[in-house]
Amino acid sequence: PSRAFWTCFALETVVIPSSVTDIGYEAFDGCKSLKSIVIPDSVTSIGEAAFARCSALTSIIIPDSVTFIGECAFYGCSKLVSVRLPNNITTIQRATFHSCHELASITLPDSVESIEKEAFHGCILLKSIEILKNFVD
What pLDDT digit, counting tens, does each position of 13-29 carry?
888 999 999 999 999 99
**Pairing outcome for strands 114-115 and 91-92:** parallel
pLDDT in tens, 55-70: 999 988 899 999 999 9
Residue 134 has pLDDT above 90, yes or no: no
Who contacts 4 (Cβ-Cβ below 8 Å, separation ≥6)?
A: 24, 27, 28
- The answer to whether the CB of 131 falls within 8 A of the CB of 111 is no
pLDDT in tens, 29-85: 999 999 988 899 999 999 999 999 999 999 888 999 999 999 999 999 999 998 889
Rg (CA), the chain: 14
